[in-house]
Amino acid sequence: MITSYSFGCMKINSKPYLKDLILLPDGTILHPWWRKAGHTLSLSDIQEIIAAAPDILVIGTGSPGMMQPEQTLCSELGSRSIETKVMPTKEAAQEYNSLLEQGKNLAACFHLTC
What tens digit of pLDDT does each residue of 66-101 get?
Answer: 999 999 999 999 999 999 999 999 999 999 999 999
| pLDDT, tens only, 2-24 | 999 999 999 999 999 999 999 99
| pLDDT, tens only, 43-60 | 999 999 999 999 999 999
- CA neighbor of 46 nearest in space, from 24, 19, 17: 24
pTM across the whole model: 0.97
The reported pLDDT for the residue numbered 49 is: 98
Query: Under DSSP, is residue 22 helix (H, G, I), strand (E, B) or coil?
Result: strand
Angle at 43 between CA 2 and CA 63, to 5 degrees: 40
Cα(20)–Cα(72) distance, integer angstroms: 22
